[in-house]
Structure 1
């Protein structure tokens, strides 16, 4: 069976039910905000299912293979470094065991704690070399506790993360940059999102926050130091391809170029180090624009299951009027090459 390959497809291990429930009211604002009356996240059961309904729907619609990843925020939402490290390792052990039940249809992304580069690199090496993971998934910034006990965000363009990027280049696997909901502090009244909860999640907050992080990594010099590193951004690149001309227009001006950390502009890195996927953004004209902007070899199919349905994504994909060679590359060929999947092109 040669069908589509979907690479941003979420799962949840049993240990994650409690922390997943914390975001239930953000996902569905009509649910009660009273912690005493908390209800499970609406997608918990679908996230925990791999070999039942998920696989049956894949078979029915022509999805050949899924790369699975622990749903957001995972270890990035755990402020305690020891707990985050264990959360990632346990999730990786569980996911590897699940994938081993049907490796011809499923593969996995490694979860890592990003509290520090050493732990992240060590777990990435273990997950790839020992557990057979095909890449690393990080859910935007890492939450840590500052000296005053308040939550602090850590971003991976910082110099302290260079050993992590070095390990990624050495392993030869991509890093998928995935969005996450804001922290509790960013949801307080008077904050940007606290007074505007209607725009949380994929309603716009996800790509606003994550696009900043991706721009930061591209402009930090990471790709100059480690040119083999490959990032993947979902949802048609979190909107970045549509802003590349203007971003480069200013980033390349003398006032910026004289002091910027990177050698090249954003378009250079999006054509050498970044790939995008269609996850949850089934926009035919948008995909065609991205193909023209960054090259067909940088564009990959994805669904974003269970937050979007397999049926909707596959029906859309069947309607996409790309030339046959391009459509085949986006549907499966690019994913096989980038992630080194054990599938026939």
Structure 2
């Protein structure tokens, strides 16, 4: 299937290369690190070969979210966004951008969000999990009231926030002790990100800002499959409840999910049954995953043609109305 639009596609700058996880196979991570830095020939060739016309690029995790100095975070975020804008300008029919924000300084994050959307033309925000502040053992989650001005501006601008995983705070890793194989995409990413999303829901954030849109990768970090039970038991929490509607309402009204790194047809069909096809989007999670594997699976998955078209690109068109009218290699050739 040609014309696919992919939303969770990562890049990196050399200055962040030594901050990538070290517990994954070193040979694999060397190759991932190399591919993260390459945004022209090889990556575009992979896109051409797999029918991916357009990719929204974002800084790989943990990125600026792991910076413990707020002033340095502001400087680094601006540099990342300026570099990404240069990449997009060089390939306007193939790439768009998600903003990197210095959430260590909420006021600066709002200002950078405004710049990225209104001046650089980015299509939303990628937040790589919680943000460190002061040291690696301290983190802020985005349900905290200090971030209300950020969420208010996000809603006003009408752009989505992609909540991407990162590993848990160093002080909260007791359950993983002796089992580093459970870190990252194997398991800890899912637990961390699903819990963060539930914090947003249960905080009442979507009651205050009902037009907010949040995207989760990996077919929703298990939430589509667990939400009935979560809702069922949360209803018994009495005075602890801060939210006004069933949590399932927020999942269906305020969240989208992507296929990034979860290329399993039964899981996709379960997600479609719970969330509906209009809330699911294609992604590959390159270069941590293979574009070829993602595309081969999706193009041949046992779903109907109309659903494949919606997930592949029309849902993204609806969610991101600022995408170029013409995308892909042929559009770029015609433009040149």
> Which TM-score bucket, shorter chain as reference?
over 0.9
Give the drift of 1:344: 6.1
| Aligned residue in 2 for 1:34 | none
1:74 and 1:87 in contact (8 A); partners too: no
Unaligned runs of 5+ in 1: 32-38
The 1:51/1:331 distance shift into structure 2, 3 A limit, reads same
Give the drift of 1:194: 3.5
| Aligned residue in 1 for 2:325 | 343
The whole-number CA distance in structure 2 between the counterparts of 1:285 and 1:343 is: 33
The whole-number CA distance in structure 1 between the counterparts of 2:30 and 2:300 is: 32
Unaligned runs of 5+ in 2: 328-336
1:140 and 1:178 in contact (8 A); partners too: yes
Helix, strand or coil: the match of 2:90? Answer: coil
Q: Which moved more, 1:273-282 or 1:262-271?
A: 262-271
| Aligned residue in 1 for 2:19 | 19
2:253 aligned with 1:267: no
| Aligned residue in 2 for 1:75 | 64
1:4 and 1:332 in contact (8 A); partners too: yes
| Aligned residue in 1 for 2:7 | 7
Superposition pairs for residues 157-196 of structure 1, below 5 Å?
157-186=143-172, 191-196=174-179
How many pairs does the alignment contain?
A: 326
The whole-number CA distance in structure 2 between the counterparts of 1:344 and 1:287 is: 28
State which of 288, 303, 311 in structure 1 corresponds to 2:292.
311
The whole-number CA distance in structure 1 between the counterparts of 2:3 and 2:38 is: 21
| Aligned residue in 1 for 2:274 | 293
| Aligned residue in 2 for 1:36 | none
Normalising by the residue count of structure 2, what TM-score does the alignment of the two structures yield? 0.92
Q: Deviating runs (4+, > 4 A) in structure 1?
A: 183-187
Structure 1 vs Structure 2 CA RMSD: 1.9
The 1:262/1:309 distance shift into structure 2, 3 A limit, reads same
| Aligned residue in 2 for 1:205 | 188
Give the drift of 1:83: 1.1
Normalising by the residue count of structure 1, what TM-score does the alignment of the two structures yield? 0.90
Give the drift of 1:291: 1.0
The 1:234/1:155 distance shift into structure 2, 3 A limit, reads same
The whole-number CA distance in structure 2 between the counterparts of 1:260 and 1:184 is: 29
Please give the per-residue CA displacement for 1:280-335, whole angstroms capped at 9, x wherever unaligned: 00011111111110111111111000001011011101111222211111111111
The whole-number CA distance in structure 2 between the counterparts of 1:40 and 1:217 is: 32
The 1:90/1:150 distance shift into structure 2, 3 A limit, reads closer
